[in-house]
Structure 1
Amino acid sequence: MSRIDALPPLREVIARHDLGARKALGQNFLLDLNLTRRIARAAGDLSGVTVVEVGPGPGGLTRALLDTGAARVVAVERDLRFIAALDDLVEAAEGRLELVRADALEVDAVALAPEPRAVVANLPYNVATPLLIGWLKRIEAFRSLTLMFQKEVADRLAAAPGGKDYGRLSVIAQWAAEVQPMFNLPAQAFTPPPKVMSTVVQLLPRREREPAEWSAMEAVTAAAFGQRRKMLRQSLKSLGDAEALAAAAGLDPTARAEVVPVAGYAALARAWRAGSREDPGEHATQRGTKRR
């Protein structure tokens, strides 16, 4: 038996340190070690990889990541109550676990871990999407992202054009990464149980993706999906001459946002960026679009 296997059960750790989940921090603890090991295995071979984990809580997934062979785990926790509770795990890990006391929204995951690096986390629901966007902006720096979301967010990430779940998040995520939903976890698997089912999703950097600038992709998707029921010739007006822009991207100006594929948005981003470079006045439009 390893030193990690010899640690007290997670429920005992929670009781000893009086670690009730805080709703304001989006905390729902996954205490079944069989499930945490399943998540760790879903991340693939972690030998030689430094894993960044966000919100370790009492350490269930942290234990699994160490057990399944991660070279090192850097766990980012903003709730100081868990630091003392994780001391025994830090000792049992024998130098393979580092705790970072910080808000994950304010730390640079790339700076925390050397290459090769990956992120594996049961994300707090209230910050899951902004964390993901931040990592997607630098997706090439990660070997993979294996993350747990509310199922409705996972459905949006993987949605195909034409479906009700297809939107800005679908386009941005699929443009930057290959999105692979892995498996669902029922609410009853968590303490306390959330009101929704959860889904583990893996995102792998695209080796080749449609050329476009991130800021331009943000601008065109914000405009298009800001009025998703309207045709592109109407929804893109905030970016300039909507019909000319759609034509330059090879898109039907009478199409609606939810039917345009990822490649279409990349073409739209390139066309808009080319036009804004020709007309400096468009930069003001871009800034206004981002605030929408």
Structure 2
Amino acid sequence: MAASGNLGSFRLPPLPTIRELIKLFRLQAAKQLSQNFLLDLRLTDKIVRKAGNLTNAYVYEVGPGPGGITRSILNANVADLLVVEKDTRFIPGLQMLSDAAPGKLRIVHGDVLTFKIEKAFPESLKRHWEDDPPNIHIIGNLPFSVSTPLIIKWLENVSCRDGPFTYGRTQMTLTFQKEVAERLTATKGSKQRSRLSIMAQYLCSVEHIFTIPGQAFVPKPEVDVGVVHFTPLIRPKIEQPFKLVEKVVQSAFQFRRKYCHHGLGMLFPAAQRLESTGRLLQLADVDPTLRPTQLSVLHFKNLCDIYRKMCDKDPQLFAYNFREELKQSRSKNQTKDSDKESCGL
């Protein structure tokens, strides 16, 4: 069922179905690229409806593939649709859509991970961060291999208010493996609570809006797919640089089944680990025997604020990486062992 009420001005003419296009252009989902096509236009219409009212909106679609969601976006009466597709096999089918919707669809052959969107839309669309979101939407059914690195990149853009967020609090409606969708929206104490939960929720209002069964895709993935909607918050729940928040959160979830003090200890060099971890937890008012999944965003705010003060006092601290320390100590041990062998010990 297509979206109602905003279809009066434009409707795509009759076109080959997505299934017919796949046959026509001999398209096959590339397993190594984790591609899965969504052929049911009722579902693509539903994704687009859930993105909000797109009448006269400017839309950036990532990973359009054979163009199922692209059709639903065009039928929602948008002003302008920009699609970025890395796989050249899909360009002819998208060009057919562009010809059917003159002046509505712009196709870029490129990689969403590196594409610069900052100048893609008119300056007049920009809104102050405190205002309502701009009339720009990001929509995409991405390959699973790209979706997590891309959302982390975009969350950093939200934090810095650059990339797609130079226009203001641009909204995103994206597909993920159901498990990833559940992590993005997981609440405190949930089994799915993870680094991704905190990174998304401290910057955005995040909603898992519906789940698409795997059998709706071709080829059928082994998992169901979650559709997630993001609206950047006017004020982030943690007001520290993204990289600092990411480091604290990653450390906390380093040992997700252990008490949180184990992971947070990795923020500090071995020589000062015990003392500094104790001080961090005490000043942040965090119980060291909580598991990482039991920590709220407020807990992480306090941890990040205190860690920032500790880094300001000791400028070397932020650069410390426990993995590097581990590598160095292993290589020292290996050198010692080989020295012993050469001495016949």
Q: Does the 8 A contact of 1:223 with 1:238 survive in 2?
A: yes
Partner of 2:233: 206
- Structure scoring higher RCO (CA < 8 A, sep ≥ 6) equals 1
What's the CA shift for 1:137? Answer: 1.6
Residues in 1 aligned to 2:175 and 2:117: alpha-carbon distance in whole angstroms: 17
Runs of 4+ in 1 over 4 A off after TM superposition: 286-289
1:261 matched to 2:261? The reply is no
**1:25-82 CA distance string (max 9 Å, x none):** 2211111111111111110012343211111111110010011122211111011011
Partner of 1:91: 99
**1:271-290 CA distance string (max 9 Å, x none):** 1111101101203215969x
- Which of 263, 272, 283 is the aligned partner of 2:318? 283
**Structure 1 274/49 Cα, relative in aligned 2: closer, same or farther at 3 Å?**
farther
Greater C-alpha Rg: 2
What's the CA shift for 1:98? Answer: 0.9
Provide the TM-score with structure 1 as the length reference.
0.93
1:193 matched to 2:220? The reply is yes
* Residue ranges of structure 2 left out of the alignment (5+ in a row): 1-7, 126-133, 269-275, 328-345
* Cα RMSD after superposing both structures: 2.0
SS in 2 for 1:106: coil
- Which of 211, 215, 221 is the aligned partner of 2:249? 221
1:239 matched to 2:247? The reply is no
**1:72-94 CA distance string (max 9 Å, x none):** 11111011011112111111121
What's the CA shift for 1:205? Answer: 0.8
Amino acid at match of 2:256: R
Residues in 2 aligned to 1:71 and 1:165: alpha-carbon distance in whole angstroms: 38
Partner of 1:162: 189
**Structure 1 31/5 Cα, relative in aligned 2: closer, same or farther at 3 Å?**
farther
- Which of 123, 144, 165 is the aligned partner of 1:125? 144
Range that drifts further, 206-215 or 76-85: 206-215
Provide the TM-score with structure 2 as the length reference.
0.80
Q: Does the 8 A contact of 1:4 with 1:92 survive in 2?
A: yes
Equivalent positions of 1:18-167 (< 5 A) are: 18-114=26-122, 115=125, 116=134, 117-139=136-158, 141=165, 142-167=169-194
Count the aligned residue pairs.
Answer: 291
Residues in 1 aligned to 2:322 and 2:85: alpha-carbon distance in whole angstroms: 33
Q: Does the 8 A contact of 2:37 with 2:219 survive in 1?
A: yes
Residues in 2 aligned to 1:97 and 1:52: alpha-carbon distance in whole angstroms: 10
Amino acid at match of 1:207: I
Residues in 2 aligned to 1:148 and 1:233: alpha-carbon distance in whole angstroms: 34
Partner of 1:251: 286
Residues in 1 aligned to 2:23 and 2:224: alpha-carbon distance in whole angstroms: 26
Residues in 2 aligned to 1:185 and 1:234: alpha-carbon distance in whole angstroms: 38
